[in-house]
Amino acid sequence: EEFISSPPRKTVRFGGTLTDILLKYRKGETTDFELLKHQLSDPDIKDAQIINWLHEFRASVAYLTKELEQLVGILLKLPWLKRSREVVEEYLGFLGNLVSAQTVHLRPCLRMIVSQFVPSRITIREDDVDISDSDDDDENVSENFNTCHRALQTVARYVPSTPQFLMPILVENFPFINKSERTLECYVHNLLRVTVYLPTLRLQILELIIEKLLKLDVSTPQQDIEDAEETANNSDSEEKRTEEGLFDMEEDEERKGNKVVSSSSERMAHPLAERLDILMTILFSYIKDVCHVDGKLDIKNTKDLYRDLVSVFDKLILPTHASCHVQYFMFYICSFKLVFAEAFLDHLWKKLQNPNNPSVIRQTAGSYIGSFLARAKFIPVVTVKACLDLLVNWMHKYIDNQDTGANAYCDVALHGPFYSTCQAVFYTLIFCHKQLLDGNLRKGLSYLQSLNFERIVMCQLNPLKICIPSVVNLFAAITRKYQLVFCYTIIERNNRQFIPVVRSGTGGDLVQTCTNPLDSFFPFDPYILKRSKKIIDPFYQFWEELSAEDLENLKKPIKRGTSEDEDDDFLKGETPQNDGVVGIAPNSYESNTRSPVSSIGSPPDCYVPYSQ
């Protein structure tokens, strides 16, 4: 009775079964085939019809050869993701059958899946004009992404060579940087999800993502970001003054407590910086999730990811000048455990000392060592000392080899890595001298004296002439205070020898520039992207401006045998800035040689005069 009362499944057929239609098509009878294509392309096709057709196609995949790629293309365009669970499951089964029987259709299948890695666009047209074009905020978007990854895993299970075909498609489909933040966010998030179940692609996917991030980073200089923020803050304060007292409604009160306000305060005013901020947050989250299992650091996972990230760092980051934020992925993974920070420093050290590396790579490695030692809170003083020992010993050996030869003169082109190392050491001392002297001043001074800075400063290569003035002046002040070396005679002599040249700057203004500055930068200068900086700030050593009292202290040399309590206190780490900060105008030499890109967020140019 049950059998008799249950109706048969509804089907709409044109000319018999699917197999009949495909066989007729091979013989040249195309009418039924065209009707089939028309029905599959119908936007109003019902779930039951899709399930019936897919069921038949699964049984007939042997007939879906290359000649029928147009029909397969129509099947791949079916709106299966937003259908019922039954349709989704049937479609996943069809994909598995199709790629296992006809690998010729592997690429189109992969393209179809990857095309779903971004939210669909909703376009509203009026009189043939697009009046609205925005991301689909469908709440099922994340569920659709989960289904896409299931589809990709299904295909990869049936075709082991999937990764090598997939990678070029992931590259092709990467959205342009001017696409919406949501589109970029979803695509990058989905790429990183692929690395979880296709680990062989992880290095290539990380390379792809970081390459795109790097393009964003170098096309948004830090000064542009700060200018945009300042402009936005000024316009916001004007709007607040205008609106004050005009609208005192309950709705406004509700809006103030609304999440949108808090999130808008985190938005970057610069549109490309906003995209970069979102994507860096995703990258940091990925690094944390991979390295931690159940909230605990997994050393093996972290080692494997560290190797991949160092490989990307060498290939993309080291050769790129003036990136401001992307390199922080190395800073972040190194913060998890000291062994990774030490491995990174050792890696940079090998780059620096290897004469077979290009000079520019060696110089950049030196900049990274100095900036990393100065800015990473998680590096203990014992590691700082070990690195200073390595660097300073190398500098002394370099002086031994060069100081009496034909090249024993001041020239960046000849001695770039040496000057970069000097600047790294000076910069590290500026930030870490207090740690080095903390606990036992006599012992600390003895250690600093053993580094023999006097020989380095006095050598024929004259590093004080090449290193950027902000670093030179603070180094000179600290070393004079602790009677390590007196630099001011050399600084004055360099100033007298300096001959500025005139060149045309941006906008046709005439500016003076130095003929031989060390074109260096500090890679771990302050991180200014609002969302992702919250992840970096806890591990970051900030610079504090010098107050009038600090400057006075620097002018007073410390007597040998002084008690530890009289140690200077001009670097305070992460404390609120002093209201009594004194701005000292740099002299002409310093302002001319200061590189605007290099010096952002670093110790400011200040000249601490020597008082007799």
Q: What is the DSSP letter of 581?
A: B
What pLDDT is stored for residue 571 in this prediction?
34
The first and second tokens of residue 42, run together, are 């119908």
Name the helix (H) or strand (E) containing 292.
strand 292-293
Distances (CA, A) of 372 to 344, 345, 524, 525: 10, 8, 7, 10
Confidence of residue 252 (pLDDT cuts 50, 70, 90): very low
> How far is it, in rounded angstroms, from Cα 220 to Cα 216?
6
What pLDDT is stored for residue 263 in this prediction?
53
The CB-side HSE value for 408 (13 A sphere, CA atoms) comes to 13
If you write DSSP's letter for every residue of 415-456 in order, what string do you get?
HHHHHHHHHHHHHHHHHHHHHHHSS-HHHHHHHHHHT-HHHH
Q: What type of residue sits at position 316?
A: L
CB distance 424 to 369 below 8 Å: yes
What pLDDT is stored for residue 244 in this prediction?
53
Confidence of residue 258 (pLDDT cuts 50, 70, 90): very low
Confidence of residue 322 (pLDDT cuts 50, 70, 90): confident
Distinct helix (H) and strand (E) counts, the chain: 30, 6
What pLDDT is stored for residue 336 in this prediction?
97
The first and second tokens of residue 574, run together, are 């992460």
Is residue 387 scored above 80 in pLDDT?
A: yes
Give the tens place of pLDDT for each residue, 106-164.
999 999 999 999 998 766 656 566 554 455 566 678 899 999 999 999 999 999 999 99
Confidence of residue 585 (pLDDT cuts 50, 70, 90): very low
Q: How many CB atoms lie within 10 A of CB 334?
A: 23
> How far is it, in rounded angstroms, from Cα 78 to Cα 51?
11
489-527 b/e (C-beta count within 10 Å ≥ 16 → b): ebbeebeeeeeeeeeeeeeeeeeeebeebbbbbbbbbbb
Query: Residue 517's closest CA among 456, 599, 438?
Result: 599
Q: β-strands 296-297, 292-293: how paired?
A: antiparallel
* Average pLDDT score over residue span 315-319: 95
Report the predicted TM-score, pTM, of the whole model to 2 decimal places.
0.81
What pLDDT is stored for residue 85 in this prediction?
92
Q: Three-state DSSP class for 547?
A: strand
What pLDDT is stored for residue 315 in this prediction?
96
What pLDDT is stored for residue 564 in this prediction?
40
Confidence of residue 438 (pLDDT cuts 50, 70, 90): confident
Give the tens place of pLDDT for each residue, 488-541.
888 888 887 765 544 444 444 444 344 433 445 789 999 999 999 999 999 999
Confidence of residue 547 (pLDDT cuts 50, 70, 90): low
What pLDDT is stored for residue 262 in this prediction?
38
Mean pLDDT (the chain) is 80
511 - beta bridge partners? 503
What pLDDT is stored for residue 128 in this prediction?
60
